Chain A
Amino acid sequence: MSLAEGVLQIVEGSARREGFGAVRVVRLEIGELAGVEIDALRFCFDVVARGGMADGARLEIERTPGGAWCRRCAKMVPVAARLDPCPDCGTHQLQVCAGTEMRVRDLEVT
């Protein structure tokens, strides 16, 4: 719910700066390791947006893949979940450094 409110705050802030009246599409970038339930975010956004400028706006969500630095292999490796081992060496000496993004990319407005 806090995330949905965060999105709405950013949308309203942009509206003040850019002077638009209604939002049709909100494009988000949510990393696969960000721990966000996408369905819950959609549901909450619909609730908090109701009656405002983003009422009925569509959320388009781009998932960015997870990546981590393996200390054993000394390179970046892909990971699908926080608890995944390194796909090459099988250890958990991993420092997650991609896939935790939670960003508003852009808006389609009228």
Chain B
Amino acid sequence: MCATCGCGADEVRIEGSAPPLHRHADATEHAHLHDGPHTHDATIHEHDHAHDRAPRHAHACGLDATRRVQVERDILSKNDEYARSNRALFADRGIFAVNLVSSPGSGKTSLLVKTIEALRERLVVSVIEGDQQTSVDAERIRATGAPAIQVNTGKGCHLDAHMVGHAAERLALARPGVLMIENVGNLVCPAAFDLGEAHKVVVLSVTEGEDKPLKYPDMFAASDLMLLNKVDLLPYVSFDVARCLENARRVNPRIRVIPVSATTGEGLPDWIAWIEDGARHARDAMDETVARLRREIERLRAELAARGA
């Protein structure tokens, strides 16, 4: 959680653009993007700037005017609403979205480059890159020819669904296709933030240590797939694969594991097959929705024609 690391949500930049700061009446400032089309659900994108509202009821008679207001809302409900709208956008376009999470240096970007190269002929892969600073990773992805956009979170330690929604708008996502969201390297906070993805995939490299699933259980519990990366280095490091898998399953009995090496290509066919399977499901679901809507339109047309006749 961010309550543990004290990161802030300010200073967010999407690919070099500095969003204008809004100054509220209470002198707090927050950055927000307002250029470009904004297709988020209007009900969740309110900008009421009256943060300095004075008390409405001034009781002069000395009575305690304290009252209780029922709220019953999840603390991350705002993020979850944006995640829902992202998920709906991805479903409408038949996009298979994956949220890649790991600690820094696990090899996510190298793995992504290899993945894009392997899929190039068959699927359009778009990428959202999350890092605190620099657009180095997005440039690496763009060098493969894939569309990529960089989100710099500034002091923030994770991507949230709102940033991803804006980045997705700018990407002009191919339909159908695959969206890879490379989260900020961090095994803690990203576990709590739904981005609207179909799956969280955690990347763990054999240079890190087989106890990571026990040290950061929330992330391994939230992920559906673990990619055990850099397996080409196993002869040179003391990493107990069996122990690592045991630890991961202790935290999440359902987690699937694919050992891979971005360097040698080992295991990549299994990972690619997993993506293609997900992409096929996303496309089929979209086709089904389109077919259902077509039938509905036909039915309504027939109904109208019958009324007219």
Q: Are A71 and B75 in contact (CB under 8 A)?
A: no
Write the chain A residue with the least CB distance to B55: A21
Query: In the complex, A26 Cα to B77 Cα: how many Å?
Result: 16
Q: Are B6 and A82 in contact (CB under 8 A)?
A: no
Choose, from B173-181, B249-257, B282-290, the stretch at the interface: B249-257
A40 CB within 8 Å of chain B: yes
Q: How many A-B residue pairs have CB under 8 A?
A: 141
How many A residues touch B, CB cutoff 8 Å? 48
A1-38 near B? 1/0 per residue, CB < 8 Å? 11111110110101110111110100010000011110
Q: Are B3 and A82 in contact (CB under 8 A)?
A: no
Query: In the complex, A95 Cα to B251 Cα: how many Å?
Result: 9
Known contacts being A9-B78, A20-B55, A44-B3, is A109 close to B214, with CB within 8 Å? no
Known contacts being A2-B160, A83-B250, is A35 close to B192, with CB within 8 Å? yes
B34 CB within 8 Å of chain A: no
Query: In the complex, A18 Cα to B192 Cα: how many Å?
Result: 29
Write the chain A residue with the least CB distance to B74: A103
- Nearest-neighbour CB distance to chain A for B81, whole angstroms, equals 11
Known contacts being A16-B48, A24-B66, A106-B68, is A6 close to B79, with CB within 8 Å? yes
Query: In the complex, A11 Cα to B3 Cα: how many Å?
Result: 18
Q: Are A1 and B6 in contact (CB under 8 A)?
A: yes
- B55 / chain A contacts, CB cutoff of 8 Å: 20-22, 110
User: Which of under 10, 10 to 19, 20 to 34, or 35 or more describes the interface residues of B?
Assistant: 35 or more
Q: Are B48 and A102 in contact (CB under 8 A)?
A: no
B221 CB within 8 Å of chain A: yes
B67 CB within 8 Å of chain A: yes
Known contacts being A15-B53, A110-B55, is A2 close to B189, with CB within 8 Å? yes
A64 CB within 8 Å of chain B: no
- A96 / chain B contacts, CB cutoff of 8 Å: 221
Q: Are B73 and A93 in contact (CB under 8 A)?
A: no
Q: Are B9 and A82 in contact (CB under 8 A)?
A: no
Query: In the complex, A3 Cα to B7 Cα: how many Å?
Result: 10
A87 CB within 8 Å of chain B: no
Write the chain A residue with the least CB distance to B189: A2
Query: In the complex, A95 Cα to B221 Cα: how many Å?
Result: 9
Q: Are B3 and A108 in contact (CB under 8 A)?
A: no
- B193 / chain A contacts, CB cutoff of 8 Å: 2
Give chain A interface residues in 89-110, CB to chain B under 8 Å: 92-96, 101-110
